[in-house]
Structure 1
């Protein structure tokens, strides 16, 4: 079967100890049976490893931070689009999604397709809104409260039992065992990601995750559950194994059908000793471990591009159980000239 040529621009090239999803998504696209993909990388920093992975990324451009606003982002994308004729844009960071979703119609007029959650879907699954989300959709979630100051915590502290989890609105989560630790983590996360900070009741159990894709009409395109086998001090999976788990699959289908989720997602769950599943977070995009799903037989990055292009996608029904991923560090050697070129010209 002849593959269709398609140009996909994507971010998340920071393949470091807390990796972005960009490189795993690209690996999935490069293994596509449907597409011959030209990959255009979008980078924020000069030392994102993906910039220099020329076997995976064909060309990379520097882009402004999402915090700079919609206009600088669109101006840069227009320039890149003139050079590359982007057909599909895949943002891989939570912090970019709002900017890209707000720009969806303008991007479409330019000829650039996306396949993202709606603003309502994005907003209602925020960590600060999770208790309401749980009530609305009948999903168990740990008790939590958003706070805007440490003083506010002192006023609600008695509602919680230690330990608690202190979470940033986009990233970072720390387990705090006393008031002093809450103060330290509050300041640390607020300085990096802003407010609010979410305090969540710690639920003891095994951390399990699902990567999934919704078609926007209530159907699950694909879903693969896994258990983390090795977790870094930042709470990131450094190893994981695919599971056969009907309850996790049932919960995923329930959430996607009720919310009519559009695009990739990751469910972060805790299974307690009583075999109860608690939803602790919904990440509104494909996670950094998505290549495990590809290896298990569900090429979700390929499905995402197909859906963005308006193509029919048959749902995946099977995946290989017992597939294991193990991350590793790798010293990539680059020339200073390449670094200098990207630093000065903003493209490589």
Structure 2
């Protein structure tokens, strides 16, 4: 029997699926599992070769949207056009770099009848890589020491304080573990070219890598928390395999973060558990991770819960999930026609 979720139309960004995959396809997989055949998924892409564009069984139609650097005016104009073509109910942005603009236009989207569940600009800023150490110090979280690198000459100060290895991070994405000054400088120049300054040099912490995917309700609570231990990591530091684990101290950490920030929406905590058992927060990503489907497989479908919360419905917090659920990422060759590529490139929709 039809209900209010029977014929939803949801737009999703992050359709890339390379060796550093975006969360979009995993979010879509979770949504299709939750809402069934009546769900219409609209892809929002930046590049013409994002694989999700061509996965027609998952994405009903794709529209290109302007790069974040083009500002909120261009984004709002494009989303207004898409709204005229599609009866959009919800938009789920999945890239760090686009969130500033989406948060800015959220009130106008609401006026159009499009729901979102996003953090505030203040919340977005406080967990920024540039501010994370200060946030941790102020609120009692373990966070590795860091230096903000604006010029290549600044790297020596970081190397003198931390010794090698050091983690060099881009402002939005990418991280490299470096063992020499030459490697550190090379990483600085690469990340500066890709994302601008500051580049962050972070103290290297050894231990067990754990990620936490969570969903904050905006009132200091989490609706869902699922922890995963990385089993296989790519050269870019991305989890290519992982398994759900349950530890009270991980749940407590995520709950303390939500309570401290009143976080609203999905987020991911990247954690290093060291030999003393301290949980160091390496990063807090302000959106769902690429492994978010694992939450659905373990019994807490976070994208489903986000959609319901965005639409104004009360969602009871999940109380349990299944430990020992394993994911292994894989790649495959999807075949499409060059005419599809030409169409999205020329007309901006497919």
CA-CA distance at 1:155 after TM superposition: 4.0
Aligned equivalent of 1:107, options 106, 109, 124? 109
Match of 1:67 in 2: 69
Match of 2:187 in 1: 185
CA-CA distance at 1:85 after TM superposition: 2.0
Residues 130, 200 of structure 2: 8 Å contact kept: yes
Residues 29, 35 of structure 1: 8 Å contact kept: no
Q: Distance in 2 between matches of 1:145 and 1:152?
A: 8
Residues 213, 225 of structure 2: 8 Å contact kept: yes
Look up the SS of the partner of 1:238 in the other structure.
strand
Residues 13, 48 of structure 1: 8 Å contact kept: yes
Deviations 1:76-135 (A, max 9, x none): 111101000211111100000001111111111222111011111100101111111112
Match of 2:199 in 1: 197
Look up the SS of the partner of 2:130 in the other structure.
helix
Residues 21, 290 of structure 2: 8 Å contact kept: yes
Residues 159, 166 of structure 2: 8 Å contact kept: no
CA-CA distance at 1:33 after TM superposition: 4.9
Question: Taking structure 2 as the reference length, what is the TM-score of the superposition?
Answer: 0.97
- 1:2 to 2:2 alignment: yes
Residues 137, 255 of structure 1: 8 Å contact kept: no
CA-CA distance at 1:299 after TM superposition: 0.6
Match of 1:232 in 2: 234
Q: Distance in 1 between matches of 2:18 and 2:80?
A: 29
Look up the SS of the partner of 1:266 in the other structure.
strand
Matches within 5 A, 1:245-284: 245-284=247-286
CA-CA distance at 1:178 after TM superposition: 2.0
Taking only aligned residues, the RMSD between alpha carbons, in angstroms, comes to 1.3
Matches within 5 A, 1:71-110: 71-110=73-112
Residues 303, 313 of structure 1: 8 Å contact kept: yes
Matches within 5 A, 1:1-348: 2-3=2-3, 4=5, 5-33=7-35, 36-348=38-350
Residues 6, 35 of structure 1: 8 Å contact kept: no
Question: Taking structure 1 as the reference length, what is the TM-score of the superposition?
Answer: 0.97
Deviations 1:292-336 (A, max 9, x none): 011000010011111111111111111111000001111111112
**Structure 2 unaligned blocks of 5 or more:** none
Q: Distance in 2 between matches of 1:230 and 1:64?
A: 34
CA-CA distance at 1:34 after TM superposition: 8.5
Deviations 1:54-86 (A, max 9, x none): 111111011111111111111111110100021
Residues 25, 291 of structure 1: 8 Å contact kept: yes
Aligned residues: 348
Q: Distance in 2 between matches of 1:269 and 1:178?
A: 25
Deviations 1:29-66 (A, max 9, x none): 10115994211000111111100111111110111111
Q: Distance in 2 between matches of 1:211 and 1:67?
A: 28
